[in-house]
Amino acid sequence: MLFNSAPYIFGFLPIVVLVYFLLNRQHWVQAAKWWLAAASIVFYAWWNVANLPILLVSLLVNWAVVNAIWRANEVSDSAAKRVLIIGLVFNLLYLGCFKYYDFLARSMNSTFGAALPLLNVALPLGISFFTLTQIAYLVDVRERLVKRQKFLNYALFVLFFPHLIIGPILHHKDMMPQFATLRSKVFSLENLATGLLLFGIGFAKKALIADPLSAYVRFYFDDTPILGTVEAWQVALAFTCQLYFDFSGYIDMALGSALMLNIRMPENFNSPLRARSVIEFWSRWHMTLTNFLTTYIYTPILYAFRTLSFRKSLIAVFITFFIAGIWHGAAWTFILFGAMHGVALTVNHIWRRSRWPMPAIVGWALTFLFVTCTFVLFRAKSVHDAGKVFAGMLGLNGTAALNRWPGSPDLLGYSMSHAGTGLDMRVVFLVGLSAFLVFAFRNSGELAARFRSHLGGPRGNG
């Protein structure tokens, strides 16, 4: 079920919120929790019920590992560590089977002439997110950072529908206390109003900007063999805007949905396109992923070194973001995406250590240019398709290949909008509008906090 779909907006969400608070009003707290868990299962199965067993197997196996670690912690650290390793191996193999096996098999078949069979299984929705959430939980149980919990609390933490498909990546310390406190059981008009505002902002981002740009991006990335310079830069900028407003729009709708249930999920975006360095970009973009990478990958890599040094920290940075690229998708384009960001972050750290001055506008321009170029790899279905766009951006095919996007209205006449330029005025307008919204307005979290302050409630990240 999609957040921007009619069944979710006019059916699922209102019913879930209404029944949840009615059950709590009758002091049926456990029943309210079971209701949220059951609703989350329905939400996940709505898209494809065949994916439901995949989610439930992951949930139940990880719960068994959690209990085994709790018991092993009472015996010895080495016993708990062995159980943790078993849990990590299960999660990585489980994720790898669905997300990476076919990619590896095709690569082996084409490179070495192997004949490995393909599974041809569609990637289950949200598997990357609920797998990372549970991996973090296992590690924290091993470190004795989690008190013993009942199965319902764990299941609700993992299944909670606002984050289940696209994030943010949740951490138990941010969520479980909220599910337990009595304050969250009482209906709040302020939370409902702020949640509706956040949801509306997210819906507008997706419906008014991301979705109209997606058809244009699809045409030039997937269906057009040659791009001129103007077309290539136009589609690269269009995808940057599409990805940002699509992803941040969904996160806004997720945060808004959770807030209507009195649950504050962590902020995931903080105006990342305003960043003046790649380091700052990752502190603002997909913030819960960056926190996960720092805590559960970068830091353990540092600890693996016997002695620490600046050079070793750079190696850890590169490995971390190389892994992040692989996590994003099973394709060489994602591997290159992660490697390029790993290199850029190491260069950024070296520059910072040198203390050479960098004018803010230059830092922003370089960062935005780098992000836009690497997002080409993020969108392209293959390295060949990415190369096609890069060739156009470098001017190897002339100013304009004069492709005609069939979905664009010919507002200014074909001769003015396309001939000799490659410009599409509708896309120019949407990209310009995106830039105006990003740089001239507060972001959705700031707007929600300001709105709440006017309502007289406590300020929060919204």
Q: How many domains does the chain have?
A: 2
Helix (H) or strand (E) holding 227: none
| 50 and 125 housed in the same domain | yes
pLDDT-above-90 percentage for the chain: 79
Residue with tokens 């909670």: 160
Given 132, 156, 186, the domain boundary residue is: 186
**Neighbour count for residue 215 (Cβ, 10 Å):** 13
Query: Which string of DSSP letters, residue by residue, matches 399-446?
Result: S------TTS--SS-HHHHTTTT---HHHHHHHHHHHHHHHHS--HHH
Judge if 180 and 58 occupy the same domain: yes
| Six token digits for residue 5 | 């779909």
Structure tokens at 395: 């001017």
Reported as a pLDDT band with limits 50, 70 and 90, residue 459 is very low
Same domain, 256 and 366: yes
Are 234 and 172 within one domain? Answer: no
The verdict on 265 and 374 lying in the same domain is: yes
pTM greater than 0.75: yes
Average pLDDT for 418-440: 85
The pLDDT of residue 422:
74
Is residue 365 in some structural domain? yes
Same domain, 52 and 175: yes
Same-domain pairing of 209 and 152: no
Asked, for residue 302, whether it belongs to a domain, the answer is no
d(CA 380, CA 242): 14
Question: 140 and 33 share a domain?
Answer: yes
Of 97, 155, 158, 165, the C-alpha closest to 127 is: 165
Q: Is 225 exposed, middle or buried (0-12, 13-18, 19+ CB in 10 A)?
A: exposed
pLDDT higher for 334 or 114?
A: 334
Asked if residue 167 and residue 70 are part of one domain, the reply reads yes
Q: With 0-12 CB in 10 A as exposed, 13-18 as middle and 19+ as buried, what is 223?
A: exposed
In a domain? residue 93: yes
Q: Is the pLDDT of residue 201 over 50?
A: yes
Q: Which of 134, 153, 186 is the last residue in one of the domains? A: 186
Answer yes or no: is 305 within a domain.
no
Are 234 and 374 in contact by the 8 Å Cβ rule? The answer is: no
In a domain, residue 150? The reply is yes
Q: Do 140 and 272 lie in a common domain?
A: no
Last-in-domain residue among 186, 220, 235: 186
Residue 54 inside a domain? The answer is yes
Percent of the chain surpassing pLDDT 70:
95
Domain contains 43: yes
Question: Does residue 181 share a domain with residue 211?
Answer: no
316-373 pLDDT per residue, tens: 999 999 999 999 998 999 999 999 999 999 999 999 999 888 999 999 999 999 999 9
Indicate if 328 belongs to the active site.
Answer: yes
How do residues 37-67 score in pLDDT, each as one tens digit?
Answer: 999 999 999 988 989 999 999 999 999 999 9
Q: Which tokens belong to 101? A: 């096996």
Average confidence score pLDDT of the chain:
91
User: Are 259 and 381 part of one and the same domain?
Assistant: yes
pLDDT, average across residues 255-269: 96
Question: Are 29 and 184 within 8 A, CB to CB?
Answer: no
- Structural domain boundaries, residue 72: 6-186
Catalytic residue (choose from 171, 172, 328, 384):
328
